[in-house]
Every structure is written in C-alpha cells, then in structure tokens.
Amino acid sequence: KKNKFFIDIGTYKNFRDHLLDAGERYYFLKICEQAKGNVKDACNITGLSQSRLYFFMQKHTISLSDFKQ
C-alpha cells in the first residue's frame, strides 16, 4: 500500500534539477517584475550580461515585454 503522501520524484539528480529550474524561474520572474521589463535594469540587478539574461529568459519561456509598464 502506498502512502498518500508519497511523491515519486525519481533520482536525487532529477529532484535537484527540478528544484533548481523552479527556483531559477521564480527568480527571473521576480527580476522582471522589479525591473518593470527593462533589460538594462534587469542586467544591473542580476549582474548578468544581456546575452546571459536572455539565455535564462528563453530557457524559462519568460518575456521581459510582458512586464513593461
């Protein structure tokens, strides 16, 4: 009998990768909100180059333009 609280999360690596992805996505969503969709501001906040910022935005299917005010 399975415990109703049991969650099949697979290997530790899969769990860690999933957790990292979720954390990254949350982080970049908050950065977009804080920067109000401004690329230069987002780069200044994160310390990332524009190309690296866009890499993460694409990875997590986030668009800065959705946050412009």
The letter for the amino acid at 35 is A
Range 53-60 contact pairs with CB under 8 angstroms and sequence separation of 24 or more: 56/24, 56/28, 57/28, 59/24, 60/21, 60/24, 60/25, 60/28, 60/29
- Report the predicted TM-score, pTM, of the whole model to 2 decimal places: 0.81
Say which residue the tokens 């990768």 belong to.
Answer: 17
Q: What is the mean pLDDT of residues 16-21?
A: 91
Residue 14's pLDDT band, with cuts at 50, 70 and 90, is confident
The letter for the amino acid at 33 is E
Flag whether pLDDT at 17 surpasses 80. yes
Residues 35-64: tens digit of each pLDDT: 999 999 999 999 999 999 999 999 999 999
Residue 15's pLDDT band, with cuts at 50, 70 and 90, is confident
Radius of gyration of the chain (CA): 16
